């Protein structure tokens, strides 16, 4: 099967693993969420492991015996047709479209062309991204984004590479570019036990964000929502015995960030 690599996707079609309509959890208002398949990171806690590989793949549900193929190549025209079905809902609720993944920038040429087509329809666009792409590609991409949820998983490059397979240098660089361009965004930190959950990590995050101009972040406690998907994909899940975190577990982490001058959103509020 064809495998797509970072920024090498054909402009004509993108690899999509889901289009979710009437979402109310991926930005303001009623939204259509486009899930792009393929990600250059390999986070062992990933809740959507079916999004990682840049090719269609099978998932087998052992409970009912069904096997499904995850990932389908779709044209811009096909996606726009689905998006426009709910234009009235976007307008009434101040909603729009959200790009998610995987990592949307893994298919940057296609995603940029799709974003251009959506903006021609005057529809609001949000993306969820790690920012892991070449700076020139990132600068072009963010021109079409009205808001970004921007993941920063670790402040330390070596620790980031050890866990995800890539360094955080590009991620931090592109975040700085977005801030300098005065893009509206929310930095999100997934808090993972034994990876970035120490109070010393909170202090280093605070120093980093203060240096580059981040003033608010959202903390996302580690959860086990994706556990069954690894079994369905026939993969080993490294985090299966790790305890889930809850908002109350992160109060001290939040306090350290607050002391560094960073506003922290936790459990839906600051």
What digits encode the pLDDT tens for the residues 127-147? 999 999 999 999 999 999 999
* 25 burial via Cβ count (<10 Å: 0-12, 13-18, 19+): exposed
**Which is nearest to 52 in space by CA: 63, 64, 67, 42?**
42
Q: Is residue 126 part of a domain?
A: yes
- φ, ψ at 16 (rounded to 5°): -115, 135
Is residue 221 a contact partner of residue 250, using CB atoms and an 8 Å limit? yes
Q: How far apart are the first and last CA of the chain?
A: 45
Alpha carbons 237 and 254: distance in angstroms, whole number? 28
Is residue 99 in some structural domain? yes
- Is a pLDDT exceeding 90 seen at residue 62? no
- CA atoms within 13 A of residue 43's CA, in its CB half-sphere: 26
* Residue 129 resides in a domain: yes
| CATH number of domain containing 123 | 3.20.20.70
Of 8 and 163, the one with more pLDDT: 163
Rg (CA), the chain: 18
Asked, for residue 8, whether it belongs to a domain, the answer is no
H runs (alpha helix) in the chain: 76-84, 87-93, 108-120, 135-141, 157-164, 169-180, 199-212, 227-233, 251-259
Domain-embedded: residue 96: yes
Q: How much is the pLDDT for 197?
A: 98
pLDDT tens sequence across 148-206: 999 999 999 999 999 999 999 999 999 999 999 999 999 999 999 999 999 999 999 99
Residue 6 lies in a domain: no
* 133 CB burial (10 A radius; 0-12, 13-18, 19+): buried
β-strand partners of 219: 189
CA atoms within 13 A on the CB side of 140: 15
Q: What is the domain count for the chain?
A: 1
Structural domain includes residue 162: yes
pLDDT digits (tens, 9 = 90+) for 229-252: 999 999 999 999 999 999 999 999
Q: Six-digit token pair at 229?
A: 């998907």
Q: Cα dihedral angle (259, 265, 266, 268), rounded to 10 degrees?
A: 160
Domain range spanning residue 42? 13-265
Q: Is residue 147 part of a domain?
A: yes
d(CA 172, CA 188): 13
Q: Band of the pLDDT at 270, cuts 50, 70, 90?
A: confident
Residue 225 in tokens: 């929502």
- For the chain, what's the residue count? 270
């Amino acid at each position: 099967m064809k495998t797509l690599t970072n920024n090498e996707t054909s402009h004509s079609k993108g690899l999509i693993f889901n289009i979710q309509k009437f979402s109310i959890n991926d930005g303001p208002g009623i939204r259509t969420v486009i899930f792009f398949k393929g990600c250059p990171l390999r986070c062992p806690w990933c809740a959507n492991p079916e999004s990682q590989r840049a090719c269609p793949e099978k998932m087998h549900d052992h409970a009912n015996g069904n096997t499904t193929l995850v990932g389908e190549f779709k044209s811009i025209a096909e996606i726009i047709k689905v998006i426009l079905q709910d234009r009235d809902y976007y307008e009434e609720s101040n909603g729009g479209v959200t790009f998610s993944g995987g990592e949307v920038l893994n298919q940057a040429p296609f995603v940029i062309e799709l974003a251009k087509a959506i903006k021609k329809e005057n529809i609001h666009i949000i993306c969820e991204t790690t920012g892991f792409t070449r700076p020139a590609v990132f600068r072009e991409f963010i021109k079409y984004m009205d808001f970004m949820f921007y993941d920063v998983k670790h402040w330390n490059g070596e620790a980031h590479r050890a866990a995800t397979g890539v360094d955080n240098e590009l991620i931090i660089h592109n975040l700085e570019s977005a801030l300098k361009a005065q893009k509206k965004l929310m930095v999100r930190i997934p808090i993972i036990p034994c990876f970035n959950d120490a109070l010393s990590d909170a202090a280093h995050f605070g120093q980093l964000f203060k240096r580059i101009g981040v003033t608010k972040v959202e903390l996302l406690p580690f959860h086990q929502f994706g556990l069954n998907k690894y079994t369905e994909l026939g993969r080993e899940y490294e985090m299966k015995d790790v305890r889930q975190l809850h908002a109350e577990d992160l109060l001290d982490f939040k306090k350290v960030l607050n002391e560094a001058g960073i506003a922290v959103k936790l459990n839906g509020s600051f």
